Amino acid sequence: MAAVTRPQPELDDLPASSPPIDPWAQIVQGFDGNRSDLVPVLQRAQSLLGYLPPDAVRRVARWLRLSESEVFGVATFYAQFRFTPPGRHHVRICLGTACHVKGGVQMLETIQRRLGVGAGETTADGEYDVERVACLGCCALAPVLTLDEAIHGQMSVLKLQGILDAEASA
């Protein structure tokens, strides 16, 4: 490993965070505390917490001996990281080339009209968050969107309305 391993600060030295991040030990498990661990640690934090609350950014910064602004700067550079809690349901709309050509924008607009929130936002009741992605990589199924784990291909405005209706009445 080329990067120098820094001495790790004791976790007990850190001020008690509020609210406490329970899976903290899980977040840093297996990492050496190198600068190059920053992105993977943030990824782990997000996968456990659902998003990056300010407290997580703070603790990661202290753990890696970086300033919070540095960590925040890196985190905001990458599209993967979110700083607000996700909704209970997660809608991803693909706006890649193939989906654009086949009407992906209309899917996004339909979602906006129905849920009242746009890409990068979460509905006020915390039910849905909406994300637009550049390509889900199943272009043969365009236009594509995902609702939680389910992939819905060859969508149309009407099919999407049907899916949202079914969800609403479920």
Partner 1 sequence: MRAATLVRHVDEALAKARDPRAYITDDGKAEIRICAGTACHSSGRPAVTAAFKEELATRALVDTIRVVETGCHGFCEQGPIVVLWPSGLFYPHVRPEDVAGIVEASIVNDGVLQKRLYKDPETKQRIAHEKEIPFYIGQRRRVLALNGKIDPYSIDDYLAHGGYTALAKVLTDNDPAGVVEEIRRSGLRGRGGAGFSTGTKWYFARSSHGEVKYVVCNADEGDPGAFMDRSVLEGNPHVVLEGMMIAAFAIGASEGYVYVRHEYQFAVDRLRKALAQARERGIFGDGVLGSEFSFDVRITEGAGAFVCGEETALMASIEGRRGMPRTRPPYPAVEGLFGKPTNINNVETYANVPWIINHGADAFAAEGTPTSAGTKIFSLTGKVANSGLVEVPMGASLRHVIFEIGGGMLPGHHFKAVQLGGPSGGCLPESLLDEPIDFESLAAAGSMMGSGGMVVVDDSTCMVDFARFFLTFTAEESCGKCAPCRVGTGHLVSILDAICAGKGELADLDRLERLARVVKSGSLCGLGQTAPNPVLSSLRYFRDEFEEHIVQKRCRAVVCRDLVVYRIIPGKCTGCQRCVQVCPTEAITGPRADAHNLDPDKCIKCGSCYEVCRFDAIAGDAILIESRGQHAD
Binding partner 1 (rule: CB under 8 A), the pick from 48, 139, 147, 164 is 139
Number of residues binding to partner 1, judged by CB under 8 A: 47
Using the rule CB under 8 A, is 106 a contact of partner 1? yes
49 within 8 A of 21, measured Cβ to Cβ: yes
Q: Which is nearer to partner 1, 11 or 79 (CB)?
A: 79
130 interacts with partner 1 by CB under 8 A: no
CB 118, CB 112: distance < 8 Å? yes
Nearer to partner 1, 127 or 131 (CB): 131
CB of 93 to partner 1, least distance (A): 13
Does the CA dihedral 69-71-72-74 come out positive or negative? positive
DSSP string covering 62-117:
HHHT--HHHHHHHHHHSTT--SSPPPSEEEEEE-SHHHHHTTHHHHHHHHHHHHS-
Give residues in contact with partner 1 (CB under 8 A). Answer: 1-3, 34-40, 42-43, 73-74, 77-81, 95-98, 100-101, 103, 106, 109-110, 113, 133-142, 144, 151, 153, 156-158, 161
